[in-house]
Amino acid sequence: MNDPAETTLPPVIVKPLKIGDLVIDPPILQAPMAGYTNYAFRQIVRDYGGVGLQATEMVSARSFVWLDQQAEFPDRLWGIEDEPRPLAVQMWDNEPDTMARVGERLVEEFQVSVVDINFGCPVKQVTQSAHSGSYLLRWPEKMFSIIRRVVEACAPTPVTAKIRLGCSRDKINANEIAQVVEEAGAAALTVHGRTAADFFKGSADWEKISEIKPYLKKIPLIGNGDLDSAAKVVEAFRSYQVDGVMIARACLGRPWLFAQAAAALRGEPVPADPTLAEQRMCLLRHYDLVVQRFGIEKGTMLMRKFACCYAQGMYGARAFRTRAAKVSSPAEFYEIVENLFPRDPEVDAADSASAELASGS
């Protein structure tokens, strides 16, 4: 949790981010993360504030087309029709016409604010099985074709791209790819500071991200990787040549991180983390939103991973996470949250003292 003595950070001048004609202020983006950034999570983040642009989970263009033929609605687009804007939808595939077709649907039927193309996902299901995501970093001409077709289909809605530094440490080609992305007509480029082979090991290389900026003539550069505090967000803008930042895994259990980062960029005191009691209530609200959409059985199963995220890194969290990872019913979920979610020792001590006084009076 934040140290109250270190809640104000030295100010840094940061301009709003422009993606095409769309102004993103503050220039802090929420990353699309498969299995996590659904409507329920986005709503929780929105409640705390501070995020300039949110994104859905990434959508398979091919699956979207198949579901459409079956008259089904993709779960990963749950809530977007009535959701506040701006909102980005990220999609992936390797077939330009399919991508263009889905991009056009997203713009015309769902009025999304940004269509983002994933060229950074390193998981085998996407790279090896589907020859998509970061696999395409080795084929710049293919990337160009995909981006150009999607840009044409989605105009005037801006199209962006997200990449990694390269396929591996000995094949870093982000500078070349950045030029391809811009020449193809994309409105912004997001770069995760690892290679595909790195997955999430080691540290994101922000120096490498920064080195890309001179290769872009017009479009903004957004940096991504290891931003897990307001201080790191401020440092990213202060020390590296980026126009915006994207927060990913660190926000999954701390949806208030965006509000803290936004305050820091304004030179205001950084809000303290919510109390553990408040975090517990946030988790329960998150659970209720998921269950409303997916039903009790599936919603409870989905909340296992979210519950574990909320408690990660806290003192005494192991017992909670062990039980939460196997929870199977609402009664069990509420019992685990009530009895095992980490508590503030000082608050517990005060409660115990109050109880003793009451019993002795």
Q: Which residues are catalytic?
A: 121
- Contacts with 327 (C-beta within 8 Å, 6 or more apart), sequence order: 300, 303, 304, 307, 333, 336
Backbone phi, psi, residue 241, to 5°: -85, 75
Quick one: tokens of 176? 């070349």
Quick one: tokens of 309? 């995220």
DSSP 271: P
Measured CA to CA, the distance from residue 100 to residue 229 in angstroms comes to 37
Rg over CA atoms, the chain: 21
Candidates 247, 22, 38; CA nearest to 114 is 22
Q: Is the Cα dihedral 52, 39, 153, 144 positive or negative?
A: positive
DSSP letter for each residue of 8-37: -------PPEEETTEEESS-EEEPP-TTT-
